[in-house]
Structure 1
Amino acid sequence: MTERADSSDRAPLRVAVVGAGWWAVENHLPVFASRPDVEIRAVCRKGAVEAERVAERFGVPIATEDHELLPWDELDAVAVSSPHSFHHTHAMAALDRGLHVLCEKPLAITAADAFEMVRRAADQEVVLLVPHGWQFLPQAVAARDWIRGGRIGRLEHVVAQMASPARGLFSGEEDSIPGAESPPEPSTWVGEDGGYAYGQLSHLYSLVFWLTGLIPADAMGAVSPGPAGSDLYDAFLTTTRQGPLVSVSGGAGVPTSQRHHMEVRVFGAEGAVIVDLERDRIEIVRQDGDDYSFPLMRGAAIYPGTLPVHAFCDLALGYPDAVNHGDPVASALGIAAIEAALLSARTRRAEAVSPAVIEAEAWGLKLD
């Protein structure tokens, strides 16, 4: 967290939350409410009674079901935690008004929409942060520095795997999150815009591209559908412009008593970097034996959901040294890879990533 010694001299950050359901209630709203430099001005979600209940719990003056009825002129920032297919609409409504945006993953369902959001944020000179929490761990930042600083030499190959205790969620079951105060509707995580790839592998792909600076080119994919018809397991292979292959697999079959499985292994000509977040292992191993492993305690790499929300507040308030590790470009590249891989799973042939990637470069966006 950044230094806030001068926080008393700043006007508070005025925030609205769009999609004030399960994850916003469990994670985002408590962070905003805990900070004296943030004011929650409004919440928006489906269900008038539910919206009022959330507003009452967090002392928020305005509750609405319609994002167009938010007090836009009284806001500085918006957190978007609505169902996947609404992320683009809700985020663009805020970005078009020059507001800072925290947008949950997946950033969008298509690369075209994702890169439009990135460009609008750049044009408006506002923060766009995707809360990929693991990217905010200081040890993950160090791993990124190792890779991008050339400590393992020229990159050659990436293997990444993720598995989640979320079979019920991605199977469309009611009450799929035991004990959740505001459980998600089953339709949120299944269907054409749901499934494991968008719902969880968006985390993994963002981490891969954020760590490495690789740019996806083509993708091949295969999926195993669950009871609701959406992908429950995925196996994707992505080529990159720089040459290395990125092999990604994942699924929702971890027992609910267990934590997420999340592992990325990046191989280079001079060594490898291992980011194994299930086993709290982040290390570099080199051909010359100059190895290093962070001495992490058990549980140190459990998903840090609050870190990106605090970082968003710090960035929007202009605190010095605040850093956006929720890089929307890496997240958008992840959407491009997922979109192409899911298309490949249907066509049974390799598919190029969206032209939106090239178009983003054409208007000056640095992808790596």
Structure 2
Amino acid sequence: MNRPEPVRLGVLGCADIAWRRTLPAVLAEPRLRLVAVASRDGGRARRFADRFGAAPVTGYDRLLDRDDIDAVYVPLPAALLPRWVDAALATGRHVLAEKPLGRTGAEARELVVRATAGDLVLMENAAFQLHPQHEEARRLVAAGEIGPLRTVTSVFGISPLPPEDIRYRPELGGGALLDVGFYPLRTAQMFLGPELRVVGAHLHTGPSGVDIAGSALLAAPDGVAAAVSFGFGHAYRNAYELWGGDGRLVLERAFTPPPEHRPELSLHGPAGVRRRTLRPHHQFAALAADFAAAVTTRRDLRRHHDEVIGRAALAEAVRRHAGVEVR
């Protein structure tokens, strides 16, 4: 039986996440073949292309004009993502997009509708969810290891960024909510379901006009609450805690574990602390494999699309409660 030809991939944008994480994983995935990398800066395109063995392209439109591209990876800033994801879909290409695929629920829904109408794969990079540590956490909660779930607490904070970082630029859709805040919000939905409402929210705005830190209190229909916090001016941490009627489950390095990291789930109860160590897992390799499989099998992505739209709508609600408009 002949193996199908690899999906030919082009890249719109030369972001740091593409350099460090996504493109190395793409090169290791046999069902994907990196063909070309585009940037508005020809020198930057050549730097990426030289490292990853692809053709450099100056200008995003020029890459979409090529006839040797089946799918596109779009690691652009939040404000540019909708335009170029839409442009790629309009040319009949499958798309893997960096987060956030939409800054509002309506923006995300429009892209999902276009992809669905064209029978095209559209995926948002939520690689962290592909790590089996979260499935193990769900299994332990379902097995009653901490009793009935009462509260989810999730945080992601990083050190202050260089002043020129694009995440401080309002015209590019910068801000902590759409960057590191993505993970705690998605975690709340992961454990409490999609029907979360925002009870309260605060966003702290920095000198450039973008939110640099924030917190939100969310509530599920059954009364279980989630408290999320995020920001750029913090000691580095990404973690969540599931607090139940009989104990707590704690997971550190929940969102950015290196491929060699052995996750440790800590169960805190009346009898003390029990620790469960899991196998390492390469979540970006899993992302590349998941995208390749979705393209080659046309897997039903309705659940993923619902999560994308729900996360975007939830972030929009946090902004609204905090009195901050989407720029």
Structure 1 window deviating more from structure 2 (310-319 vs 214-223): it is: 310-319
| Structure-1 residue corresponding to 2:286 | 307
Distance in 2 separating the partners of 1:74 and 1:149: 49
**Corresponding residue of 2:193:** 213
Alignment of 1:66-81 (within 5 A): 66-67=60-61, 69-71=63-65, 73-81=67-75
Q: Measured at CA, do residues 244 and 337 of structure 1 come closer, stay the same or move farther in structure 2, by a change above 3 Å?
A: same
Query: Is residue 281 from structure 1 mapped to residue 229 from structure 2 by the alignment?
Result: no
Pair 1:266 & 2:266 matched = no
Provide structure 2 residue ranges, at least 5 long, that are not aligned to the other structure: 258-262
One-letter identity of the residue aligned with 1:203: Y
Deviations 1:9-36 (A, max 9, x none): 1111111111123221222222223344
Q: What CA deviation, in whole Å up to 9, does each residue of 1:128-182 have, x standing for no partner? A: 33222321221212223445677766543222111123x124xxx24xxxxxxxx
State the distance in 2 between where 1:265 and 1:155 align. Answer: 11
Contact 1:224/1:231 (<8 A) preserved: yes
How far is the alpha carbon of 1:68 from its aligned partner?
Answer: 5.8
Q: Distance in 1 between matches of 2:61 and 2:183?
A: 26
Identity %: 25
The AA in structure 2 aligned to 1:199 is D
Partner of residue 138, structure 1: 132
Superposed CA deviations along residues 240-290 of structure 1, whole A, max 9, x for unmatched, are: 3343222111222345xxxx4122223455655433326943255679x8x
Q: Partner amino acid for 2:309?
A: A
Q: What is the rounded CA distance, in whole Å, between the counterparts of 1:21 and 1:103 in structure 2?
A: 12
- For residues 308-360 of structure 1, the C-alpha deviation after alignment (integer angstroms, 9 at most, x for no partner) is 233322332349xx998x9343343222222221222227xxx9xxxxxxxxx
Match of 2:260 in 1: none
| Correspondent of 1:115 among 109, 115, 129 | 109
**Aligned counterparts, 1:36-185, within 5 A:** 36-67=30-61, 69-71=63-65, 73-147=67-141, 155-165=149-159, 167-169=160-162, 173-174=163-164
State the distance in 1 between where 2:121 and 2:176 align: 27
CA offsets 1:59-98 (integer angstroms, 9 cap, x no match): 3235131336524643222111011111112222233444
SS of the aligned residue for 2:79 comes to helix
Please state how far the C-alpha of 1:113 moved relative to its aligned partner: 1.0
Q: Is the 8 A contact 1:215 1:242 kept in 2?
A: no
Contact 1:148 1:211 in 2 (8 A): no
How far apart, in 1, do the equivalents of 2:142 and 2:124 lie? 21
Change (3 A) 1:293 1:53: same
TM-aligned CA deviation for residue 187 of structure 1? 3.3
**What corresponds to 2:218 in structure 1?**
238
Q: What is the aligned length? A: 316
Q: Which moved more, 1:29-38 or 1:230-239?
A: 29-38
Take 2:66 and 2:104, find their aligned partners in 1: how far apart are those partners? 26
Q: 2:296 aligns with which of 313, 317, 338?
A: 317
- Cross-structure match for 1:360: none
Gaps of 5+ in 1: 1-5, 175-185, 352-368
Q: Which amino acid is the alignment partner of residue 86 of structure 2?
A: M
Deviates most, 64-73 or 131-140 = 64-73
User: Where does residue 304 of structure 2 map in the other structure?
Assistant: 327
Q: Which amino acid letter does the alignment assign opposite residue 133 of structure 1?
A: A
Give the TM-score normalised by structure 1. 0.72
Closer/same/farther in 2, CA of residues 190 and 307 from structure 1, 3 Å limit: farther
Alignment-mate amino acid for residue 186 of structure 2: S
> 1: distance between equivalents of 2:307 and 2:268?
25
Q: Distance in 2 between matches of 1:269 and 1:124?
A: 47
Q: Tell me which of 13, 23, 28 is aligned to 1:34.
A: 28
Distance 1:271 1:125 in 2: 46
Q: Tell me the SS of whatever aligns to 2:109.
A: helix
1:98 & 1:143 partners in 2: Cα distance? 38
**C-alpha deviation, 1:199, in angstroms:** 1.2
Residue 339 (1) aligns with residue 316 (2) = yes
What CA distance in whole angstroms lies between the structure 1 residues aligned with 2:48 and 2:107? 29
Give the TM-score normalised by the residue count of structure 2: 0.80
**d(CA) in 2 for partners of 1:76 and 1:286?**
51
Residue 178 of structure 1: aligned partner: none
The question of whether the paired residues in 2 share the 8 Å contact of 1:41 and 1:62 is answered with: no
- The Cα RMSD (Å) is 3.5
Alignment partner for residue 277 of structure 2, among 281, 289, 295?
Answer: 295
CA distance in 2, matches of 1:65, 1:283: 48
Find the aligned partners of 1:149 and 1:108 in 2 and give their Cα distance: 35
Cα distance in structure 1, aligned partners of 2:113 and 2:138: 24
Distance 1:213 1:61 in 2: 43
